[in-house]
Amino acid sequence: MKLPDIVVLDEKDKRLREKSTEVFFPLSKEDKKMIQDMIDYLTLSQIEEERVKYDLRAGMGLSAVQVGVLKRIFVIVEEVEPGKFKNYIVINPKILSYSEEEIYVGEGEGCLSINREVEGIVPRRARITVEAYDMEGKKYQIRVREDISIAFQHEIDHLNGILFIDRIDPKNPYKNQEKMREI
């Protein structure tokens, strides 16, 4: 697998603050290629020797807006065991339900578009149920939990022009930490 020719936008790019538009089916060849390129990029970023070779930051999710395309598409690449990956392709997602329980990433949430250290925690739901479409335009529902739930919420935020840093209280970056579970 070679490094795809995509550029991840930096947080200073105003497109990251725009709301992405619904996708219509069938997908164009360009959209299908973009989805595959995002999957390849994320996969390479999680394989240490490839990450070093291409000077990548590790990432598990990318939304289309992060590569300059304002469409409601994101992908998650989860390493389920060393060298084995599960891909989630999510188009036109809608959160149908979520748990009351809130969680946060202990070492802090990260984003391939934010190239700096960020202090604070991002409250997320421990479990969510999402309705979305696959690449063929077939509707499906998925219930995700823990780190994958966080990744889904993070990417859905991107589709709405929201960055994770917007969800950190600037006056109290660890606000309500004791009411949430660390993962």
* 104 strand-pairing partners: 182
**What's the pLDDT at 120?**
95
- pTM assigned to the model: 0.95
Q: What is the pLDDT of residue 73?
A: 98
Q: Which of 11, 100, 119, 155 is catalytic?
A: 155
List of residues 6+ apart from 53 with CB closer than 8 A: none
- The DSSP bridge pattern shows strands 124-125 and 102-104 to be antiparallel
CB 179: neighbour CB atoms within 10 A? Answer: 9
pLDDT at 90: 98
Query: For position 109, what pLDDT does the model report?
Result: 95
Q: What pLDDT is attached to residue 112? A: 97
pLDDT in tens, the chain (183 residues): 889 999 999 999 999 999 999 999 999 999 999 999 999 999 999 999 999 999 999 999 999 999 999 999 999 999 999 989 999 999 999 999 999 999 999 999 999 999 999 999 999 999 999 999 999 999 999 999 999 999 999 999 999 999 999 999 999 999 999 999 999
Residue 22 catalytic? no
| Burial group, residue 75, by CB count within 10 angstroms (0-12, 13-18, 19+) | buried
Domains, the chain, with CATH or none: 14-182 (3.90.45.10)
Residue 104: per-residue pLDDT = 96
Maximum distance among all alpha carbons in the chain? 47
CA distance 75 to 62: 6
